[in-house]
Structure 1
Amino acid sequence: MVMPSPIPTCHHILQPRTPFLTNIATKINNDTITIRPGKTTLSFSAIKSTATTTTNDLNFEDTVTRFRIKGLVHRITALSSSNTKPQMLQILEKVPELYQTISDFNHLLMALVITRKPDICLRIFTKLPSFQLEPDCCTHSIIIRCHCEENNMDEAKRALDTALEKGFLPDAATFTVLINSLCKRGRVNKAREVFEVMGGKGYKASVHAHNCLLKGLSYVGKVDEALEMLNDMNATSLEPDVYSYTAVMDGLCKVGRSDEAMELLNEAVGMGVVPNVVTFNTLLQGYSREGRPMEGVAVLEMMKKEHDCVPDCVSYSTVLHGLLKWNQVVAALGVYKEMVGVGLEVDLRMMGTLVRRLCKRSWKDRDRGLLQGAGEVFEKMKERGLVVDQGTFEVIVQALCEGKRFDQALANLYEMVRLGYSPEVIAFDKVIQGLCDEGRVDDAVSALVLLHANGGVPNRVSYDVLIKELIEEGRLFCASNLFCAAVKLGVVPNREPDLNVIKREWE
């Protein structure tokens, strides 16, 4: 016998760990609804502040309730595929069986939550008095979370106050969702108020609730307050987890106190906390901001060797960006190669920056190894089909000329023209002069013709070098034609072919 697919319970749907519904993956077809909840389990309790406990109106262990919500999900999904939101609202308002009891109404709200329509959920809630129904604790809790999802924190706080005034006590999960949402929007003082109300109502705030506040304090730069709260947690039975330490480390790094963040990491490890890749990325970003990219490289090595933590794309990209920003070119090439070696793709802009820095460093230090590295990165960019900007093309051409790799330089000039770029005259001049130095006059003339076809005019030095080479090869007529072409373009070469010699040759 095939068992029916489970309908998610209230605590499965409304998770406080992440933004509202972030961890919910919903699959709806004719037969099944599958919800993948997060790890934290919550529940709604209809608890009066007088400590009188009643049964939750939404009993998700009840088979009838589960199938009722499943049916509502299907109906809402069908409505949303063929109607606008105002039309959906009008249709839902005219279905009398949805509003016979507050439990029926909560069923509908939960179905709207599952189908990710918090705005309609809130609109339906405003119609509640017309159905002669009174909201219960579960109703208020859903509405608080919907306001958080809609980024209306004032209304979310007002909904909490209303619930408390009516004698309802939403569960700790609902308080935590509100605290988290307020902190994410920088409203830490309001979040602290909710945190204190939560404690005043007899709840012992969870580690997650503390983490939300720690992250909020760090986000607005109140790092010392976050450190104090972390120390208070350590002084109680409430042990901070990796998220607690990471939140405070992030705050320290953002205000230029990365060394203290490293000390906090060591403290966490000493207490048995296992750091994750996000923890290390926080440190990497801190060192990069402070202009200490080589310490970021050390952290990258520490991740792999001491903590068996595999760096991700963010880890490598952060270190690479810092190295390039602070001009640690050789180390940047090493990190790039390692990144490519583990199968990660490097950002186009960073690849372009790496090519340009390697080229400039190669012709400054006369280092052929750096030029080779620049060439490899450049070719990788083209292999991936990335759009290489004109500046990167021109720098690689100049570097290739400095490295006496004129064939590659000329090939890249042709590629630039094919892509529609208009290379700077200086790039052509370097190629022309370099080819002439190697006695490859015909190739140099080809580069000159390409430049002319692209609307450019070589400088006087290029004409002088070409005319000199042509004369030395005895090609006086060609030299004379080139001289005349230069004059016609407004460039007067320093060296003019001897017309008497040309005349005698013709005689």
Structure 2
Amino acid sequence: MISMALNARFKSGFSNNLNSIEDVKSLYKQMVKMRPLPSVIDFNQLLGRVVKLKQYSAVVYLFNDMCVLNIPVTECSLNIVMNSCCSANRVDFGFSILGEFFKRGVVPNVSTFSTLLKGLFKENRISQAQELFKKIIYEKLCEPDEKMYGIVVDGLCKVGNTKMAVEFVRIMERGRVKPNAVVYSTVIDSLCKDKMVDEAVALLRRMIGKGVSPDVVTCTCLIKGLCNTGKLDDAKSVFNEMVDLGIAPNVYTFNILVDALCKEAEVKDAEGLVDIMIEQGQYPDSFTYNALIEGCCLQGRVNKARKFFDTMAAHGVGPDILSYCILINGYFKKRKTDEAMYLFREISHKGLTPDISIYNTVLQGLFRVGRYVTAGEVFLGMQSANISPDFHTYCVMLRGLCKSGHIDEALELISKIETDGVELHVSMYNIILDGLCKCGRLDHARGLFNSLSIKRLNPNVATYNTMITGFCWEGLLDEAKEFAIKMEENGCSADMITYNVIVQGLLKRGEFDDAITCLEKMFERGFSLHSSTFSMLLDLLQENENSPVLAKIIQKCNPAGK
């Protein structure tokens, strides 16, 4: 029979050879012309293939056409269509298909309701998902299985409702369907993401106590959570425990620990872990090597970092853009500019394309070592390579030009940024204002500050602090005070820097009584004295040993004297 022949073709993987919606439609047209018609199993297989192609609207279209042609559909057909609706974020259509179940006298099964729950969670319709689940339980619409419970737990965790997920696990523990390793792992991972690692460890202990063996996913989630919260020793303990339980760590597990060890400057231990990794047949990847390279760079051991970099290629793992970025940054921090630039120029010869992160790293490094002309050339070269500067690039350029004393070039750049229609940010202007104030060009700084409103930018704390600092440096204390008042009036609260700068200005001008008043306000707001302010106080006291006012200020500021 034709149906049997077609079914045989499906079983041989014929449907998997349909790689486009055009292929599917062509086959569907052939199928509906056949007499007798292929079986509903054949049509379901075709619909399933369309789902794998993620052509969800096409599934609905084919299903509707099948209904028009009176082609029989089954519970499986309806579940496939419902899954397509929910996958396309149209759970409302999914409920319409539920209506089709009842209309056709087909009883929805646990898979049907699981699909609807998954769709509701996917669209963040939590309350509706909860109501549906309650209805399933109270009205006994179906018998929930492990998969359904897993969907509910996963949905709660993905929307950040970890607390409810934990409670749900407790309910499962008391019920017929017990939580499995997947459910426990999902909640442990969510607890770790919420930085509730102690609760995650407790849940792992409870899981083991209930006779459920953790797997590599469970342990890896917990190790990652512990590392992310600075509990490296606890992470090591979990790692050792998983090995004792006979759970083989995978590359991801090793990489998490290697990265954490390197960030804590324990590169030697990280190397030892990589050796164990290789012994167990898990080979380091680019992430592993990048962690080792960064760990060495953080310790200033760039030669060792370079060895790891060269080892990558020898082990069949080509350095990626991040590898270059880390090592280039390490060279610049050690002021090895030639090595950094050689590596930068090597990138394109290795078949890689430098990205914005590489350029930002190089620009920052060049300004750090005083090579502002070369930085300008790299900046132009980047644009010639059709790589658009981002916010960070502009900040690096503006800061570098200002710090190297080329404030006019910085002003030209900010003007070009405005002309080019780049999205402006007050942080860019804060850099320019700082540069203008530090070179004594307060009039220009005032003008630029006043123009912010025209540019629809609101000054932030850093903006005001920059201006107040500039006025204090120039002895314009009254104007600094006016800015501090204006700052509060505009809803921008003064911070520790604001108070310390003004106190220093008052002390410098000998207005000790006003300094005491300002300090009292500062302490009332919970801010502390900066070490530079305290140092200034001690210097003034040495110059004015008999000043009772300065002695009083010192007593107020020194905790031992309180």
In which range does the TM-score fall when normalised by the shorter chain?
A: 0.5 to 0.7
Q: Which of 351, 357, 361 is the aligned partner of 1:350?
A: 361
**Where does residue 308 of structure 1 map in the other structure?**
316
Whether the 8 Å contact between 1:180 and 1:213 is mirrored in structure 2 is: yes
Q: 2:402–2:410: 8 Å Cα contact kept in structure 1?
A: yes
Over 3 Å counting, the alpha-carbon distance change for 1:327 and 1:163 in structure 2 is same
Look up the SS of the partner of 1:30 in the other structure: helix
Q: Are the structure 2 counterparts of residues 77 and 396 from structure 1 closer, same or farther at C-alpha, using a change threshold of 3 Å?
A: closer
Q: Is the 8 A contact 1:121 1:146 kept in 2?
A: no
Q: Which position in structure 2 is the counterpart of 1:29? A: 57
| Moved beyond 6 Å, runs of 4+ | 87-96, 393-399, 411-425
Deviations, residues 421-453 of structure 1 (Å, cap 9, x unaligned): 99999xxxxxxxxxxxxxxxxxxxxxxxxxxxx
CA 382–344 in structure 1, closer or farther in 2 if over 3 Å, else same: closer
Aligned residue type for 1:386: S
1:107 to partner: Cα distance: 1.2
Q: Cα distance 1:258–1:244, how it changes in 2: closer, same or farther (>3 A)? A: same
Do the aligned residues in 2 keep the contact of 1:245 with 1:265 (CA within 8 Å)? yes
In the other structure, the counterpart of 1:221 is 230
Aligned to 2:83: 73
Question: Which moves more between the two structures, 386-395 or 245-254?
Answer: 386-395
Paired amino acid for 2:323: S
Alignment match of 2:260 (pick from 251, 255, 261): 251
The runs of 5 or more residues in structure 1 that have no matched partner are: 14-23, 34-62, 363-370, 402-410, 426-507
| Map of 2:293 onto structure 1 | 284
1:258–1:134 distance in 2 versus 1, CA, 3 Å:
same
Tell me the residue number matched to 2:381. Answer: 380
Higher helix share: 2
Shift of 1:143: 1.0
Amino acid at match of 1:108: F
1:492 maps to none
SS at match of 1:216: helix
Residue 159 of structure 1: SS of its match in structure 2? Answer: helix
Aligned partners of 2:101 and 2:107 also within 8 Å: no
Q: Deviations over 1:236-271 (max 9, x none)?
A: 533322222212222222323222212211232233
Q: Distance in 2 between matches of 1:324 and 1:25?
A: 48
Distance 1:290 1:143, change over 3 A: same
Give the alignment's TM-score, normalised by structure 1. 0.58
Q: Give 1:110's aligned amino acid.
A: T
- For 1:487, the equivalent position in structure 2 comes to none
The farther-off stretch of 318-327 and 386-395 is 386-395
Q: Which has the higher contact order (CA 8 A, sep 6+)?
A: 1
Find the structure with the greater CA-based Rg. 1
Deviations 1:215-237 (A, max 9, x none): 22222222223223333444453
| Residues 293 and 108 of structure 1: CA distance in aligned 2, closer, same or farther (over 3 Å) | farther
Change (3 A) 1:25 1:181: farther
**Equivalent residues in 2 for 1:422-441 (5 A)?**
none
Q: Equivalents in 2 of 1:414, 1:192: separation in Å? A: 56
TM-superposed deviation, 1:88: 7.7
Q: Structure 1 residue 117 and structure 2 residue 120: aligned?
A: no
Kindly state the Cα deviation for residue 355 of structure 1 after the two structures are TM-superposed.
Answer: 4.2
> Conserved in 2, the CA contact under 8 Å of 1:188 and 1:217?
yes
Counterpart amino acid of residue 104 in structure 1: N
Deviation at 1:302, TM superposition (A): 1.6
CA distance in 2 between partners of 1:205 and 1:269 (Å): 23
Name the CA shift for 1:392/1:194 in 2 (closer, same or farther; >3 Å).
closer
C-alpha change, 1:336 and 1:162, in structure 2 (3 Å) is same
Deviations 1:156-199 (A, max 9, x none): 11111111112321322222222222223222222222222332
The 8 Å contact of residues 221 and 255 in structure 1, kept in 2 or not, is answered as no
Shift of 1:209: 1.9
Aligned residue identity for 1:353: Q
Q: Measured at CA, do residues 232 and 164 of structure 1 come closer, stay the same or move farther in structure 2, by a change above 3 Å? A: closer
* Distance in 1 (alpha carbons) for counterparts of 2:159 and 2:53: 19
Cα displacement (A) at 1:356: 2.7
CA distance in 2, matches of 1:375, 1:336: 15
Q: Does the CA-based 8 Å contact 1:355-1:392 persist in structure 2?
A: no
The secondary structure found in structure 1 opposite 2:271 is helix
- Alignment check: 8 A CA contact 1:288 1:319 kept: yes
- Cα 1:417/1:254, change in 2 over 3 Å: closer
The match for 1:151 is: 160
1:368 alignment counterpart: none
Q: 2:308 aligns with which of 299, 304, 310?
A: 299
Cα distance between partner residues in 1 of 2:318 and 2:415: 43
Tell me the C-alpha RMSD between the 2 structures: 4.5
| Matches of 1:70 and 1:144, distance apart in 2 | 23
Q: Return 5+ residue gaps in structure 2 as ranges.
A: 1-5, 16-44, 62-72, 420-428, 437-562
CA-to-aligned-CA distance 1:130-167 (integer Å, 9 cap, x gap): 64547523332221111111111111111111111123
Structure-1 separation of matches of 2:85 and 2:416: 57
Instruction: Name the residue aligned to 1:339.
Output: 347
- Asked whether the equivalents of residues 296 and 305 of structure 2 are also in contact (C-alpha less than 8 Å), the reply is yes
Whole-angstrom distance in 2 between the partners of 1:75 and 1:160: 29
- Change in Cα spacing, 1:269 to 1:200, as seen in structure 2 (3 Å) is same
Q: Which amino acid aligns with 1:314?
A: L
Distance 1:92 1:29, change over 3 A: closer
Q: Secondary structure at the match of 1:163?
A: helix
Matching of residue 200 in structure 1 with residue 241 in structure 2: no
1:267 matched to 2:276? The reply is yes
Q: How does 1:448-463 map to 2 (within 5 A)?
A: none
What is the letter of the counterpart of residue 114 of structure 2? L
Contact 1:147 1:153 in 2 (8 A): yes
**Partners of 1:214 and 1:229 within 8 A in 2:** yes
What is the identity, as a one-letter code, of the residue corresponding to 2:217? H
**Matches of 1:170 and 1:64 in 2, distance apart?**
31
Q: Which amino acid aligns with 1:223?
A: L
Instruction: Please tell me the residue identity of whatever aligns with 2:224.
Output: K
Partner SS state of residue 29, structure 1: helix
